[in-house]
Copies of this chain bind each other. A is one copy, B any other.
Amino acid sequence: MARAPRRRRLVLPLLCLLFQGATALLFAVFVRYNHETDAALWHRDNLSNVDNEFYFRYPSFQDVHVMIFVGFGFLMVFLHRYGFSSVGFTFLVATFTIQWATLVQGFLHSFHGGHIHVGIESLINADFCTGAVLISFGAVLGKTGPAQLLLMALWEAVLFSVNEFILLSLLGVRDAGGSMTIHTFGAYFGLFLSRVLYRSQLEKSRQRQSSVYHSDLFAMIGTIFLWVFWPSFNSAPTALGDGQHRTALNTYYSLTASTLSTFALSALVSGDGRLDMIHVQNAALAGGVVVGTASEMMLTPFGALAAGFLAGTVSTLGYKFFTPVLESRFKVQDTCGVHNLHGVPGLLGAILGVLVAALATHEAYGDGLQDVFPLVANGQRSATSQAVYQLFGMFVTLVFASVGGSLGVGLLLRLPFLDSPPDSQCFEDQIYWEVPGEQEPEAQGPLRAEETDT
């Protein structure tokens, strides 16, 4: 009886200190400013130079940064007794993942001369990797402790980066907004992990797996910041100029359609025509996921609307009909429904990318073909071939996510000395946090006369 609290007392801080010490050491040895960030390498003349990407990318980066911390953090606050953990563990896991992803991605993408060179792109990429980890967090929300989540992030960030490197650098797959690399990967990684961590006795905590009125409003803060800034998410790493412009536009339109279809379907599938806040909080965002791959391509505004409409529809139906099946038939307990918001829309987005890539022509893209499909523009590939590579990239991602989320980290997270909550204390802040009451300590009557008048 005495050992468990001591374990919990020490595992998390020791892991934090160990991880921080290790990344700091690796930063000291390997990480350097890149040529736009280093005072000695950069020149003021560069400001008028289009090579200076900082000013073109920084506003989008900040939007993405808000999405990661405010968006994901508050989206998961919907559980009525898990708000501290949702926003707090998002904070913890994201900050570690950012440091760790900077290293892993740096070794794969910007390692030369013995050093990793960091700049604004590093920040965007690290935030993207963090997005995938937080998607996985959504699948296991309430059933894992912070130390478990840090171990998950340690492993997932490596797999994420390797998968991303294989797709983008080796296979020449296009996936700017990460339908595959971020959403599909993060969702299935989390779902397979949730399968390994299946709790047959989760009923004991079921009364806490629901929202209250104001926790749903807090969650809408997350939803709306994600929704509003998603055009920046998909466009943050695209080619400057028309690429970023078009990506932002497509994402904007797609999201409007997924929101309309979410409202339509939510009312349709309920028994009495009432809307379900869970659908609005989540499925409305599927339009951003589904154009993660294709929004930089010549999708057309109509294509964006159609894709968003499909994603919102499928996602809402998933929340209504498939989430229960996922638990009862497949033993996957998906707390936030990431399968519906990121998994299926991510796969649809990958397939949409296959289709749009197959239709790419020199007429449709002009000089811009070099930016969107450089291997096609250079004659190294046909559009059909590019489409096949896109499809292959989706399967590679599924393999990485499923194997990584089950075999690898699943077993690790079952180690007994970690801080997994007991079945009866899932979705409960008190096990990890000092929690104040919800009510004021004293009843608040009107002020007494002598107090207001003195």
Contacts and interface: CB of A to CB of B under 8 A. Distances in A.
A4 B454 contact: yes
12 contacts: A24-B309, A31-B300, A36-B241, A39-B298, A39-B365, A47-B241, A73-B220, A73-B224, A83-B214, A91-B284, A95-B257, A95-B259
Interface string A106-135: 000000000000111011000000000000
Contacts of A138: none
B207 A442 contact: yes
Interface in A69-107: 69-70, 73-74, 77, 80-81, 83-84, 87-88, 91-92, 95-96, 98-99, 102
Given A88-B277, A207-B441, 15 more contacts: A1-B453, A13-B273, A19-B260, A20-B305, A39-B365, A40-B365, A59-B62, A62-B229, A62-B231, A84-B277, A212-B437, A213-B435, A270-B434, A430-B444, A437-B444
A242 B37 contact: yes
B305 A27 contact: yes
Given A436-B211, A440-B438, A99 B256 contact: yes
A246 B425 contact: no
A248 B134 CA distance: 23
Contacts of A309: 20, 24
Contact of A13 (B5, B208, B256, B268): B268
B95 A210 contact: no
- Range of interface residues on chain A? 35 or more
Contacts of A73: 220, 224
Interface stretch (A323-331, A367-375, A383-391, A397-405): A367-375
Tell me which of A37, A81, A430 has the highest count of chain B C-beta atoms within 10 A of its own C-beta: A37
Contacts of A306: 24
Chain copies in the assembly?
A: 3
A216 B84 contact: yes
Nearest to A84: B277
Say whether chain A's binding surface is mostly helix, strand, loop, or mixed. Answer: helix
A96 B260 contact: yes
B58 A58 contact: no
Nearest to A268: B13
A171 interface: no
A434 B38 CA distance: 54
Interface string A385-421: 0000000000000000000000000000000000000
Interface stretch (A48-56, A179-187, A340-348): A48-56
